[in-house]
Chain A
Amino acid sequence: GEEVAQTPKHLVRGEGQKAKLYCAPIKGHSYVFWYQQVLKNEFKFLISFQNENVFDETGMPKERFSAKCLPNSPCSLEIQATKLEDSAVYFCASSRPGTAYGYTFGSGTRLTVV
């Protein structure tokens, strides 16, 4: 299908618990991106992949965040030991390579850390 599928839509975790978010990019899209949108609506870039390889991870808080995009599996974003400030909507987006098209975004996963 022509949509980026993110699961779950909502996730509630106690502080210190692990959270794992999933993203199935559109078939044929070899670029995948993760963004965090906090309550002030600001978008923070986390990480991008070119196929299964990390392209840019400059936005990742590496001590607690990790991400993977393995062949024939949904991409994943994992947060170890969640903190209150991790509460946000996490968006995944995918794109074809070498085009002028903007990215197609998923509908997001709302993570609430209590």
Chain B
Amino acid sequence: AQTVTQSQPEMSVQEAETVTLSCTYDTSESDYYLFWYKQPPSRQMILVIRQEAYKQQNATENRFSVNFQKAAKSFSLKISDSQLGDAAMYFCAYRGIQGAQKLVFGQGTRLTINP
């Protein structure tokens, strides 16, 4: 079974600085998808960024980018120029490619932005 591990329960960063959230996963599959979701206090789940495992190029969405290391099974999220609105829980998630595959979530990292 696949597992996702986020080893940082909490992180904090100064506004306008850069922060990196860690995620590792375990799978025997060669093709899959990885995601980062943001969950603010409203509890709404917001997709931040996704990565297809067969693509070597790291995904980027504006201030958000990932460092995908397939051999190491690592998928970290970098947030540049942190803003107060980035404060939230961040969840790393894995999904297989066959059918209605469930998302397997990590434990989450609570990110605090210090003004």
Contact = CB atoms under 8 A, between A and B. Distances in A.
Interface residues of A, number: 28
B91 A43 contact: yes
A35 B99 CA distance: 17
A41 to B, nearest CB: 5
Nearest to A54: B100
Interface of A, secondary structure class, is: strand
Interface string B45-59: 101001010000000
A42 B103 contact: no
B33 A50 contact: no
Contacts of A22: none
B44 interface: yes
Contacts of A43: 91, 103, 105
- Looking at B89, B95, B103, the one whose CB has the most chain A CB atoms below 10 A away is B103
Interface in B6-57: 33, 35, 37, 39, 42-45, 47, 50, 52
A50 B91 contact: no
B107 interface: yes
Contacts of B77: none
Contacts of B105: 42-43
Contacts of A89: 43
Interface in A40-65: 41-43, 45, 48-50, 55-56, 59
A100 B50 contact: yes
Nearest to A110: B43
B102 A102 contact: no
Given A48-B102, A55-B100, A105 B44 contact: yes
Nearest to B37: A102
Interface in A11-51: 31-33, 35, 37, 41-43, 45, 48-50
26 contacts: A31-B99, A31-B100, A41-B108, A43-B91, A43-B105, A45-B103, A45-B104, A48-B101, A48-B102, A49-B100, A50-B100, A55-B99, A56-B100, A89-B43, A91-B45, A93-B103, A97-B100, A100-B33, A100-B52, A101-B50, A102-B35, A102-B50, A102-B93, A102-B95, A107-B44, A108-B44
